[in-house]
Structures are given as structure tokens and as C-alpha cells.
Amino acid sequence: MLKQLSTHIIQHLLAQNEWTAPMLQPFASQSVQLNFVLLKTSLVILENGSLSIAGETNLPDATITIPPSLLLRLIAKDESAKLQIKVDGDTHLATVLAKVLSHVRWDYEDDLSKLTGDVSASKIGEFTRQTASTVKDTATNLAEMLSEYWQEEKPLLAKKRHVEKFNTEVDTLRADVERMEKRLNKLTKKVSSTSDLNNPVS
């Protein structure tokens, strides 16, 4: 039941995003397993460029594993987080599918228009977008205000430039320690070889 429903939702979304079919069609019959926290599911690419949930005995051609620690960074659209997604098997296939899944957008106005008509759907869509934008702006302002207060008025948070400076100092220290370690090793070898020469074994 869940597979039927999930397949229906995925196919509905892809039908709304017609640009996805030509990208997926060259990979028809191949499948990709997605591992994300408790969610483990495989998607099969169909000949018409759509997707379905795989059956009980499917063997994936590629696997995409997203560690739970990346969740917040991915939501915040941190591009560097994407580099830490683990891909096994056919990487070209996995990359194309990941690109499709990350760019698919739900055209909720189109679905709503079938229930309420075009004009009402457009108005509701506009209202939703404005509300979402207001909520996002308010949240950003609040976060920036609190951040400023805790950095300037009552310092609890470190400033970005201080953190960067600290990181640079740590990097320099690490490099110095590595250099010193190498120098020590070199000296130790030199001392041991000198003592071998002074006390030759007969």
C-alpha cells in the first residue's frame, strides 16, 4: 500500500516537472538505493522517464547514503555538505538522480486549481508564498538580532572573524607541531646512528 502511494506521489511530482524525463530515460530499468537515517528505499527508473519504488528483491545499481549529521546543513543549502554525501556503484546514475530529486518542485497551485479553480488557487498560492516569505524574513531578523546581542552586548557567541582567526592559529600550530615532530624524528635517528658508531658490536 505504501509503495503504491509513494510511487503515485513521485510520479505525480515528476509529471509536473517535465524536464526530468529526458534526464532519466537513458537510465531506464536501473535503480538507486537511498539511505537516509531510518529511510531506506530504492527507486527504479522507468522507460518513460518516470520513477517507481522498487520491488522486494531489487538489486540497486547505485547507492546514495546521506549521514544524519548533514541534514541541517542540507536544509540550509550548504553546498559543501553535498560533497560529504556518499555514493557507491554507478556514480553517474546516482548523480543524475540526486540532481533530479533536489530540483523537483511541487506545483501545488496546479493541484489546488483542480479543487478550487484557477483564480482561487492562484490567490491561495500568492498568500502562501507571502506568508512563507514573511515568516522566513521574521525568523532571519530575529536570529540576526539575537546573534548581535550575544556577540556585542552580552558575549556568549564568538564572532565569525574571531572563529576564523582561531581556526587559522590552530592550523598554524598543527603545522608547527608536525614540523617539530619530523625534526625530532630526524634528530632521534641521528643520535641513535651516532651511538651505534661509538659502540660497534664486535
Partner 1 sequence: MNNMTTEHNTHFGFKTVAESEKAKKVADVFHSVASKYDLMNDVMSAGMHRGWKRFAVSISGVDRGDKVLDIAGGSGDLSKLFAQKVGAEGQVILTDINASMLGVGRDRMLDAGLNVPALQCDAEKLPFPDNYFDCVIVAFGLRNMTHKDRALAEMQRVLKVGGRLLVLEFSKVWQPLSKAYDVYSFKLLPLMGKLLAKDAESYQYLAESIRMHPDQETLKQMMIEAGLSKVDYYNLSAGVVALHKGYKT
Neighbour count for residue 62 (Cβ, 10 Å): 23
Q: Which is nearer to partner 1, 58 or 131 (CB)?
A: 58
CB of 56 to partner 1, least distance (A): 6
Q: Which three cell numbers stand for residue 169?
A: 592559529
Residue 17, Cβ neighbours under 10 Å: how many?
Answer: 14
Please report, as residue ranges, which positions from 58 to 87 form the binding site for partner 1 (by CB under 8 A): 58
Of the residues 9, 19, 26, 28, which one makes contact with partner 1 according to CB under 8 A: 28
Backbone angles phi, psi at 192, to 5 degrees: -65, -35
CB 44 to partner 1: min, Å: 8
By CB under 8 A, tell whether 54 contacts partner 1: yes
Minimum distance between the CB of residue 11 and partner 1, rounded to whole angstroms? 6
Stretch that binds partner 1, among 52-60, 85-93, 109-117, 131-139 (CB under 8 A): 52-60
CA atoms of 141 and 126, how far apart (whole Å)? 22
Which residue in 44, 66, 112, 121 binds partner 1 (CB under 8 A)?
Answer: 44
Q: d(Cα 86, Cα 83) in Å, to the nearest integer?
A: 8
Provide the 10 A C-beta neighbour count for residue 49: 18
Residues binding partner 1: number (CB under 8 A): 20
At its nearest, how many Å lie between partner 1 and the CB of residue 59? Answer: 8
Nearest to 128 by CA among 103, 104, 106, 145: 106
Alpha-carbon span 24 to 51, nearest angstrom: 9
Q: Is 29 near partner 1 (CB under 8 A)? A: yes
The nearest distance, CB 48 to partner 1, in angstroms, is 4
CA distance 56 to 45: 16
Q: At what angle do helices 118-148 and 108-116 cross, to 10 degrees?
A: 140
Question: Whole-number minimum distance, CB 28 to partner 1, in Å?
Answer: 7
Q: Which of these segments, 41-49, 69-77, 104-112, 135-143, binds partner 1 (CB under 8 A)?
A: 41-49
